[in-house]
Amino acid sequence: MIKMIRIAAVVTFIGFAFIACNSFQYRETNRFYKKQARQLSKQIKEQPYPIEVANVPQWVGTTNFDLRKPNFVIIHHTAQNSCEQTLRTFTLERTKVSAHYVICKDGSVHHMLNDYLRAWHGGVAKWGNNTDINSSSIGIEIDNNGYEPFEPNQISSLLVLLTNLKDKYKIPTENFVGHGDIAPGRKVDPNINFPWKTLAENGFGVWYNPTDSISAHQNLNVPQALALFGYDIKDTTASILAFKRHFRQDSTKFMTDADKSVLLQLVQRKLSGK
């Protein structure tokens, strides 16, 4: 009798495990991910071919190469109402959007795409001379509807993640920016509540010394300074708003003397490499 009870218990356990595995919401999209990865790996394995116009009979493969690695981190807010909603969005082919990481309100982190693969998170964007941000960056989405404060657990997890990414890929400190920075006028995330100062204090992004006063800001050419820093100034007002959201937590479009002083300080630090 005891033996039969044990067998029944084992069968029940296996049954529950089977149901759990088969009820996983993203089972099919994970399978699609693996299929896509296999197809891309085939492309990577393809050997170079002789260029006919050069009249070279066969290819000669170099022995010195590795994978291209990310050089930027772009931070977003999801502009949705839950982490689950964002995961759903990123697993529907028709949305054509994705990110490498999603950070939920409880601090849990979903790694949705291999860091070496190109996510579709930046869209039409520009930072400095870089006009293909997706090809050189890692996208991080933080669960936030765009109007609320960020949860402490989210920021704690973000700092741990950024530490790992910076160390692993040697990403420059100044290359941690927001979606609103690279797409002014089109995007505003990660919104005015995002703690950029906290990130900068931990080595992710640049900041300024609030006690420094630079009198030269009176003759500052604001659009030129914004462009030197990295902003796309095709729409000057939009780039000013992006700058002020990030560094002043301000949503006004007018540059005060204090704003100009901060911008000049940031440009000088960038040009000096500090």
CATH classification at residue 112: 3.40.80.10
Structure tokens at 122: 């930046």
Contact 246, 259 (CB under 8 A): no
Please give the C-alpha separations between residue 64 and each of 59, 69, 253, in angstroms, as whole numbers: 15, 15, 50
pLDDT confidence of 8, banded at 50, 70, 90? Answer: very low
Same domain, 102 and 153: yes
Range of the domain at 268: 208-274
Residue 47 located in a structural domain: no
Q: Is residue 91 part of a domain?
A: yes
Please check whether residue 270 is in contact with residue 174, taking contact to mean a CB–CB distance below 8 angstroms.
yes
Q: Per the domain annotation, does 119 fall within a domain?
A: yes
242 and 154: one domain? no
Is pLDDT above 70 for 56? yes
Confidence at residue 216, expressed as pLDDT on a 0 to 100 scale: 61
Check whether residue 184 and residue 226 sit in a common domain.
Answer: no
Annotation says 141 is catalytic: yes
Tell me, yes or no, whether 36 lies in a domain: no
Q: Is the pLDDT of residue 131 over 90?
A: yes
Cα distance from N-terminal residue to C-terminal residue, the chain:
77
What does the mean pLDDT of the chain come to?
90
Q: pLDDT band for 4, please (50, 70, 90 cuts).
A: very low
Task: State yes or no: pLDDT of 3 exceeds 70.
Answer: no
213 and 174 inside one domain: no
Determine contact, residues 10/18, Cβ cutoff 8 Å.
Answer: no
Cβ atoms < 10 Å from Cβ of 90:
22
Among all chains, which residue has been given the structure tokens 């759990």? 20
Which pLDDT score, from 0 to 100, does residue 14 have? Answer: 42
Q: Are residues 103 and 198 in the same domain?
A: yes
CA 137 to CA 73: how far, in whole Å?
Answer: 5
**How many separate domains does the chain show?**
2
Using a pLDDT cut of 70, give the percent of the chain over it.
Answer: 88
CA 220 to chain centre: 31
pLDDT at 273 exceeding the cut of 70: yes
Residue 47 is given by DSSP the state P
Within this chain, do residues 70 and 202 fall inside the same structural domain, yes or no? yes
Q: Which of 52, 141, 148, 174 is catalytic?
A: 141
**Number of helices and strands (H, E) in the chain?**
9, 5
Of the ranges 57-61, 96-100, 184-188, 254-258, which one carries the lowest mean pLDDT score? 57-61
* Secondary structure class of 210 (helix, strand, coil): coil
Output the pLDDT for position 272. Answer: 83
Burial of 174-184, coded b for 16+ CB within 10 Å and e otherwise, reads bbbbbbbbbbb
Distances (CA, A) of 53 to 46, 47, 60, 219: 20, 18, 16, 55
- Please check whether residues 124 and 83 belong to one and the same domain: yes
Question: Are 270 and 179 in a shared domain?
Answer: no
pLDDT at 22: 59
Q: Domain for residue 2, yes or no?
A: no
Out of 207, 236, 257, a domain closes at 207
CA angle centred on 199, ends 198 and 201, rounded to 5°: 65
Instruction: Say if 116 falls within a structural domain.
Output: yes
Percentage, residues of the chain above pLDDT 90 = 77
Q: Coil, strand, or helix at residue 75? A: strand
Write the pLDDT tens digit of every residue in 199-234.
Answer: 999 999 999 988 776 666 668 999 999 999 999 999
Domain-ending residue, one of 160, 185, 207: 207
Residue among 241, 223, 143, 229 at smallest CA distance from 190 = 143
User: Are residues 247 and 273 part of one domain?
Assistant: yes
Answer whether 0.85 is exceeded by the pTM. yes
Chain segment 36-47, per-residue pLDDT in tens: 999 999 998 888
Whether 135 and 229 map to the same domain: the answer is no
Of 153, 124, 262, the residue nearest 197 (C-alpha): 262
Residue 214 confidence (pLDDT): 63
Q: What pLDDT, on a 0 to 100 scale, did the predictor assign at position 23?
A: 77
